[in-house]
Every structure is written in C-alpha cells, then in structure tokens.
Amino acid sequence: MKRILIMIMALMAAAALLVAGCGGDKKEAAEKVLRVGTEPTFAPFEFQKEGSKEYDGFDMDLIRAVGKQMGYKVEIQNMGFDALIPALNAGNIDVVAAGMSITDERKQAVTFSEPYYTSGLIIMVNKDNNDIKSLKDLEGKRIACQIGTTGEGKARSVAGAKVTAFNTNTEAAMELTNHGVDAVINDSPVVGYYLAQGGNKTAKTVGEVMEAEQYGLAVKKGNDKLAADINKALAELKKNGEYDKIYKTWFGEVKK
C-alpha cells in the first residue's frame, strides 16, 4: 500500500513538472516581436542620451505602449531617416515610429496609422542673424535640413537656396552653429526642445510655424491588419489615459 502511494506521488510530481515545462514553452513561442525602425536624432520624439544605447522619447514610449497593448515585444532599430520606408518595404522592420509626417507622397509608398501628433516646420537661424525673418528671406541662402524629411522638401522649394541635407539633425544644427549655413528647417517641437536644452545660447527661431503636419506610425503598404491593430491600440491608449500620461512626460501639459 505504502509503495503504491509513493509511486502515485512520484507520478503526480512528474506530471506537474511536465505541465509546467509545456506552459513555459508555450509562453515563449507566443512572444511576438514588433520590429520598429526609427532615426534617433529627433528629441523629444526619439533620441539616445549621450553614451546610452537606450531609445528615449515620446514616440519610443508610445510605440512600446502600443506594442504592449497588442501583445508584442518591441525591438527598436536605428537607421537613416531616408532608409526607413525602404526597410519597411523590404520587410526588415514592421513599423516606423520616427515623427514621420503623413504626406500624400508617402501615402503612395506606405500605410499610415491614425495621426498621433500635430506638428509643423519652423526656421532656425543664428541669434546674430537679423536678416532672415521668413521663408522668402531664405531665397539664395544656405539651408541645412535632414535628408528625406519634409524640412528638406520645404528647403528645396526656396528659389536659389543652397540646400545641404544631412543624415542626422545633430549635424544640421552643428552646421548652423559653425555658420556653415544661414538657417535650418526642421519640425517646430524638435527645434523648440533643442533651443530649450541650451541651443538658445546661439540660435533662435524666426517666423511662424509653417502649415500643420500630422505624425503617423507607418507600416508596409497593404499590411492593413497591422495598421488596424495599431489604430485599435492607439485608440485604447487614448481612452485609458496612457497616451496623456506619455504626452505629459515629454510635453508637460496635455494638449486637448
């Protein structure tokens, strides 16, 4: 009798181990990965603190929250801004989270989520420059911008301007500090953040924010299922207060 009892107990223990083992495996297999592409010289939306490999910023917090909401593990990859859409189309990443403005031209190439942030372009010049007050004043002048951005598009629309498109915004800003260009055209919240972080010692903005642009998360064209899932997650984050919480972290007050 005693022997049978011991045997039964041993069998039960073995079965319990087996079940636990299976459960563990299942959980691992179910961990789906969302491969996110970004270009991290765009604070406060995406950036890496000096000496850190971590991705910080509004977009980074937002995409991690979206991924979590969808049940994905989020992996962020760093690439050139002009490499993001080709990487989507090549299937190397699943989503672009890079302060990417929704434009008609890009809509031909990718599918955008619902807009998640309203932005616009602005002109930055050196503090000692009193000649440039508007886009018109940039005619024939030297303008720096980031390659592949709407800022580059705007710079190239200026008659006679000599446009230099840099891989990173860091280089564009540095070129202005060095007086290698007369102006930078970039997104207004990014310029505002740069100035607030000490850029205002040498630089300032001029004129008004140019027409509004909306940021969207981008997926490969035709990946409607993923786009719909992302929109659902975004809507949920807006409803449950998570979006507002992230917004407050990076911009202070919640814009209504």
| CA pair distance 139, 135, nearest whole angstrom | 8
**Pick from 62, 76, 88, 98: which binds ligand ARG (CB under 6 A)?**
98
| CA pair distance 184, 146, nearest whole angstrom | 9
Report the half-sphere exposure of 244 (CA within 13 A, side-chain side): 9
Q: Which residue's structure tokens are 């030297």?
A: 142
Interface pattern 64-93 for ligand ARG (x via CB under 6 A) = -----------------x------------
Among 98-106, 127-135, 155-163, 170-178, the segment contacting ligand ARG (CB under 6 A):
98-106
Interface pattern 177-196 for ligand ARG (x via CB under 6 A) = ----------x---------
Angle between helices 242-251 and 224-239 (to 10 degrees): 80
* CA distances from residue 181 to 177, 192, 244 in whole angstroms, order as listed: 8, 19, 38
Nearest CB to ligand ARG, comparing residues 72 and 81: 81
Between CA 61 and CA 66, with CA 64 as vertex, the angle to 5 degrees is 110
Question: Residue 169 Cβ, how far from ligand ARG at the closest point, in Å?
Answer: 6
Q: Are strands 117-126 and 183-187 parallel, antiparallel or unpaired?
A: antiparallel
Question: Residue 83 Cβ, how far from ligand ARG at the closest point, in Å?
Answer: 11
Residue among 101, 107, 137 at smallest CA distance from 119: 101
**Pick from 63, 88, 95, 100: which binds ligand ARG (CB under 6 A)?**
100
Nearest CB to ligand ARG, comparing residues 46 and 242: 46
**Pick from 36, 66, 95, 101: which binds ligand ARG (CB under 6 A)?**
101
CB count in 10 Å sphere of residue 87 = 18
Interface pattern 26-65 for ligand ARG (x via CB under 6 A) = ------------xx-xx---x-------------------
113 touching ligand ARG, by CB under 6 A:
no
Q: Are strands 72-78 and 32-38 parallel, antiparallel or unpaired?
A: parallel
Nearest CB to ligand ARG, comparing residues 117 and 243: 117
| CA pair distance 237, 100, nearest whole angstrom | 20
Among 11-19, 70-78, 143-151, 222-230, the segment contacting ligand ARG (CB under 6 A):
143-151
**Pick from 113, 150, 164, 223: which binds ligand ARG (CB under 6 A)?**
150
What 3-state class would DSSP assign to 1?
coil
Question: Residue 228 Cβ, how far from ligand ARG at the closest point, in Å?
Answer: 22
**Where does this chain bind ligand ARG (CB under 6 A)?**
38-39, 41-42, 46, 81, 98-101, 146, 149-150, 187, 213
